[in-house]
Amino acid sequence: MLGKLPSVGQLSLPEAALAYARAGVPIFPLASKSKRPIYMGGFNQATIEEAQVVQWWADNPQANIGAVPGRVGCIVPDIDTEEAREAWYELVVVDTAATQTGGGIGVHPWYRSDALARRSHWRLDEQGGTFGDPRLANLLFRASGGYVVVAPSIHPDTDQPYTLIDPAVPISDLPSDVEKALLAIPARAAGGGHAVSTAEVEAWFADVSKPETSPGGVTIVEQRILNIANAPKDARNDTLMAEVGVLLNAAYVWDIDLHDAREQVRAAYVPHVADTRKSRDANREVDHAFDYIATQRYWEGPLEEAVGGLPIKPKLEVVPSLPSPKTPEDRHRIIVQELIEGRVQIGPLLRGETPEIEWLVDGIIPRGRLVAVVAEAKAGKSLLLLDIGAGLAVGHAILGKAHGPLVVLYVDYEMTPDDLHGRLDDLGYKEDEATAALLDQNLHYWQIPPIDPLDTEAGGRLLVDAAAAIGADLIVVDTLAAAVQGAENESDTYRAARHYTWAPLKAAGRTVIRVDHLGKDKSKGARGSSMKRDDVDVLWELSRAGTDDKLVLVRTHSRLPGVEERINLARLTNPLRHVRQGRRKYATTAVALARAMLDAGVALDGPGRLADRARRAGIIFDQRNLTEARAYIAAGMPDLGPDMESDIIDPRAVVVAPSPPTHPSPPPRGKRKVGGIESLEVT
């Protein structure tokens, strides 16, 4: 049983975190100057394992510290007003260890109570529950299903540290009469693993919503309302979902009355869409936005492996040492030295050859660059990028040669789990267990992720650190409008995103694809500030070419040579895939099929069925030739002799026909054909 909280007043955040772990207090990292968890699972990952704690704060040295009191048999009332503080200490007169919040008024006293510690968390009603004291109205208690911020974390509103009021005071038992009164109050049990119901949504809002909105919260709400009210006609619902997500994220950091905020959103959205929706339908969309996002992102149930979002830290193989704190002067000297040592060596650069561009998708997506794809709503950009991302994750040939398998991080602010399931099924990934396993290993898919906006320091750092943790080769952000909190027409929004997110990812050598919407004036490209295109290396505009199964990519901006100007795409089915029109190869013999697969990078031992991978590479062939093509490749593709070269269709020089041949070409006169390949003497 926990006896005292450690004295951490003179320690850095990494040192304090280790002190809590050594004292037996389960902790986990929160974002810098924030109350929000850095990693998916939040307080469910709280631990006293020293090696894990050291690693967390080595990766995030400015992280605040969250602690789960119920895991050590304690409860903590979250007292945040002077009236509640006065009333509580009149009710509970025993002295106990307590943390003064950085806000200046709040206090978190710790009490031992095995019976209450097993609970999740609960709140007194408007009359102060069984105590009948209105000064205790809405007082929230944390136990096993919640967490508190501990010293010396920095408060998000004031930039002041949390402090331990008196380190010498131990944790006391909760008086039995108070314990009995609290046990009479219904509380949600910790854990559970159940599906989230309407009641759970209401309970979540009751827990998170504050009776009053703080000044910082008012600013957040006002900006969200402004963005919703000014959303362009083709993105009003997308904007609603994105802005409500930002609003619910902010409720963890700022005091926000979510019930009032919902009505403000309703007042802004319903009249704005009156030209296309009945009032009843628009009101339902507002309620759906709040309730759906709450159930998908914020409920405090146990972590499940299938939940998307920020990665869980892997188990450590090597125990790192605790980094020693550095003064601002130390940090300054280190950065100056890194700048001097990291300068580009001009002499060797000029003497050497110009390095070739490395492609993730030939002529479309260069490695280590920032690429933007813009299109009208419902043009198919998300489906195309999911096909590309999933294909790279398993090593399929995607719009060219096969590259991979690669680690892909797809940050999706729009689709639901049902949408993703249907699209992956259409793409054929359920048909082969080995391919599905490789996809599960390499495709990290975050759906409506609980991260700060990417035009903030906290949001950029979360994405950059998470990408580093999983070793991401490619990051797809779908869509940009939902990933930032600033106004879409303000250049400062995208300057901040470039500074905090895109530049660090690019500096780390990671490829980023940013998805965006076209503006009303399509000649001006992506909607919003022109700053959007200033930092990209390649900008593609995607549009339909007459029908849903015909698309065209047009390159409008590029810093690099070798990027194609226009690419016509066809969307095929069974399985769904995108191929370049005019690039398909018609292999009419087994030898031609073998060479086509070699040219496209289709390996014999790759994941999934060989026939499917060859077709994904844009090769059209007779199934009967596949076995002999496989044998020819396995034999090392021996030379067939110069007299035969003219009789073999080489896909590298093939003339594309308007449609695939229905039968293999007949063998030349005088040569015997067995199956799909001429019978030859191979020496």
C-alpha angle 169-174-179 in degrees, rounded to nearest 5: 165
Whole-number pLDDT of residue 334:
63
Confidence (pLDDT) at 246: 72
Looking at residue 320, its pLDDT comes to 33
Sign of dihedral through CA atoms 562, 563, 569, 575?
A: positive
* Tokens 């067939």 sit on residue: 640
Q: Do strands 111-112 and 172-173 pair parallel, antiparallel, or not at all (unpaired)?
A: parallel
| Helix, strand or coil, per DSSP, at residue 36 | coil
In this prediction, residue 489 carries a pLDDT of 82
Strand stretches in 559-606, DSSP E: 566-572, 577-580, 585-587
| Cβ pair 163, 99 in contact under 8 A | yes
- 240 close to 232: Cβ distance less than 8 angstroms: no
Q: Class for domain 359-580, per CATH?
A: alpha beta
Q: In what order do the strands lie in the sheet with 577-580?
A: 443-447, 408-412, 474-478, 511-517, 370-375, 538-545, 547-558, 566-572, 577-580
Contact 281, 101 (CB under 8 A): no
The confidence score (pLDDT) of residue 110 equals 95
Domain boundaries 13-189, CATH class: alpha beta
Of the chain, the end-to-end C-alpha distance in Å amounts to: 80
What is residue 290's predicted lDDT score, i.e. its pLDDT? Answer: 80
Residue 399 Rama label (left phi>0; alpha psi -120 to 50; beta): left
Amino acid at 398: I
Sorted by where each begins, the domain ranges of the chain are 13-189, 198-297, 359-580, 585-678
Specify the pLDDT at position 412: 93
pLDDT at position 403, please?
Answer: 75
Contact between 294 and 204 under an 8 Å Cβ cutoff? The reply is yes
pLDDT of residue 433: 81
Edge to edge, the sheet with strand 27-30 lists 27-30, 64-67, 148-150
Distance CA 109, CA 89 (A): 10
Low-confidence ranges of the chain (pLDDT < 50): 40, 187-197, 295-326, 641-683
Q: In this predicted structure, what is the pLDDT of residue 190?
A: 31
For residues 212 and 203, give the distance between their C-alpha atoms in angstroms, rounded to a whole number. 18
Whole-number pLDDT of residue 161? 93
Three-state SS string over 293-342 comes to: HHHHHCCCCCCCCCCCCCCCCCCCCCCCCCCCCCCHHHHHHHHHHHHHHC
CB atoms within 10 A of CB 562: 11
Q: What is the pLDDT of residue 183?
A: 84
User: What's the CA gap between 628 and 675, in Å, rounded?
Assistant: 8
Task: For Cα atoms 209, 211, 214, give the angle at the middle one, nearest 5 degrees.
Answer: 85
One-letter amino acid for residue 448 of the chain? I
Q: What are the tens digits of pLDDT across the range 4-41?
A: 999 998 899 999 999 999 999 999 898 888 887 776 45
The pLDDT score that the predictor gives to residue 585 is 54
DSSP assigned state of 43: G
* Phi, psi angle pair for 46, to nearest 5°: -55, 140
- Which pTM was predicted? 0.46
Q: Is 374 left (phi over 0), alpha (psi -120 to 50) or beta?
A: beta
